[in-house]
Chains A and B, each alone.
Chain A
Amino acid sequence: MADSGEPQKLERSSAELDPIISKSLLIGVSASAIIIIIGFLLYTATGQSGYAPGVFPVAIGAVLGGLVQLRPFAIIDFGLFLLILTPVFRVAIGIVGFALEGDANMVVATSYVLFMLILSFLLGKAGG
């Protein structure tokens, strides 16, 4: 199926890293989906959110604390938290992958992206 002229030109730009990134996204998405569903089932089954009406945990500490006590909303929030962190993880995995490929330019670019992401989380906290 390749172009008949120059088959040697047909090169995937990241043949080795693609499956790794794809798998890490799959793990992140499935893990968070399963946790969210468990939390939601627990919430509908018991009718208890684990919190006062209209209240749900927002701080990381509160989510983790509620998770240990198996409070349904804390479980859902933990799943949502994992979902939000999934793209951040794949950036981090990208850094490692490009480093293993010995691609200094991409390591610098990807590290900068991770730095900006962490910065945004810190700024977000400061800004409230």
Chain B
Amino acid sequence: MAAGIIGSMLGLGGGIIIVPVLTLVLHLPLRDAIGASIVSVIATSSGAAVAYVRDGLSNIRIGMFLEVATTTGAIMGAYLAGVLSVTLLYVIFGLMLAYSAIALLQNRHVEIPQVAESHPLAKKLKMSSYYHDQVLNRDIQYQVANPYGGLGMMWAAGLMSGLLGIGSGLFKVLAMDTFMKLPLKVSTATSNFMIGVTAAASAGVYFARGDIRPTLATPVAIGVLIGALAGTRWMVKFRNKTLRYIFVPVLLATAAEMILRGA
């Protein structure tokens, strides 16, 4: 449930929480934990997106457009998995995350990023939109910058999930926050919307391999769904700045874990 709450609030899959809890606390095999976390990602994503999409927090045009890059990256990653050095990748991705944590911290005073005019491609695809901010109690119109940078980062996110089988929600949020300059709430809600598709791409494999155990997946799926419903209610009540402060430690912890795994 906690995984669902945090996952839906930050636009992550919750795998970051589920896998360590199942393996370290409950001493379950890693294979089963990863299988359960895939189910948890899809449950978080679909459960939270019901509210986020309805309320216009998830930008489905941006999400579906960027999924072109994530799915391509995921499939390439799955193929390159045997070729590239996984330990080196952990270090590279870990360093990228650490760098983004610094970028996020530098923007800590920004509630709504100001982008004067959308990029031509973003205009063509009608990406710019608005959402109603419950905290500021007004509609926030936003423009969309650098869709190509976003695509590149999304490709890296997909590659990472294909290669390492771990949640790429963090990278998705960063792509939209740092490159495309979307409000953080829109970035997390749109990432949330997208991770279900990334996870579904690998879920078929895990299911067929028998890594998704009914007895484990049931409590995880139901718990995460309940958590995701609560998370969506809370997230909209936070300031973008507050979300940023919750986000940075998660980012740093993940970066440290990845670098350590690689080293």
Identify the A interface with B (CB < 8 A): 1-3, 9-15, 17-19, 21-22, 25-26, 28-29, 32-33, 36-37, 39-40, 43, 49, 56, 58-59, 73, 76-77, 80-81, 83-88, 90-91, 94, 103, 105-106, 109-110, 112-113, 116-117, 119-121, 123-125, 127-128
Contact = CB atoms under 8 A, between A and B. Distances in A.
Contacts of A2: 138-139
A18 B53 contact: yes
Interface of B: 39, 42-43, 45-47, 49-51, 53-54, 56, 59-62, 64-65, 67-68, 71-72, 74-75, 78, 124-130, 132, 137-139, 141, 196-197, 199-205, 207-210, 212-214, 217-218, 221-222, 225
Contacts of B47: 29
A82 B127 CA distance: 30
Q: Which secondary structure dominates chain B's binding surface?
A: helix
B196 A86 contact: yes
Contacts of B209: 58, 128
Given A13-B61, A85-B200, 6 more contacts: A22-B53, A29-B47, A58-B209, A84-B200, A106-B65, A113-B64
A117 B200 contact: yes
Contacts, number: 178
Contacts of B72: 116
A109 B217 contact: no
B130 A87 contact: no
Contact of A128 (B127, B132, B208, B217): B208
A91 to B, nearest CB: 6
B210 A56 contact: yes
The residue among A25, A109, A121 with the most chain B CB atoms within 10 A of its own CB is A25
Contacts of B53: 18, 21-22, 25
A14 B130 contact: no
Contact of B127 (A10, A13, A21): A13
A35 to B, nearest CB: 11
Given A12-B129, A25-B53, A120-B202, A58 B207 contact: yes
A125 B139 contact: no
Nearest to A58: B210
B12 to A, nearest CB: 16
Given A58-B209, A91-B197, A83 B46 contact: yes
Nearest to B158: A116
B56 A12 contact: yes
Contacts of A121: 201, 204
